[in-house]
Amino acid sequence: MNLEAKNNLDMFWIEDMFIYSFRYTLGRMSYSPSVCMKFLEPLLPYLSAHTLSLISKEIGEYYFNDMQYPNEWRAFKKKLDEEIIRRYP
């Protein structure tokens, strides 16, 4: 396997782990949503459009009235959507 293919594979697995950690935190009533959002926010420019869109979609599908930290999730979704628009105006 060449280095470029290995790097792409590594990023694929890393992004999967980001998605899994995000899904875990979405309904939590602990500090984990805040930690997850703070961890992912500086990485948004480096995540694939697929990952950004998927996380944004899943936040939007979750009922904001039923979730913990609705304002924080709305703000994070806005950042995801802004990154998508920045790339694809």
d(CA 45, CA 69): 24
Residues 6 or more apart in contact with residue 68 via CB below 8 angstroms:
27, 28, 29, 33
Q: Read off the pLDDT of residues 14-47 as tens digits, 9 standing for 90 and up.
A: 899 999 999 999 888 888 999 999 999 999 999 9
Q: Nearest Cα to 6, choosing from 14, 40, 21?
A: 14
Q: Which element (helix H / strand E) includes 74? A: helix 70-87
Residue 6 has pLDDT above 60, yes or no: no
Q: What total of structural domains would you count in the chain? A: 1
Domain that holds residue 49: 3-87
Q: Read off the pLDDT of residues 38-88 as tens digits, 9 standing for 90 and up.
A: 999 999 999 999 999 999 999 998 877 677 888 999 999 999 999 999 998
Q: What pTM, to 2 d.p., does this model score? A: 0.82
Round to the nearest angstrom and report the end-to-end CA distance of the chain. Answer: 35
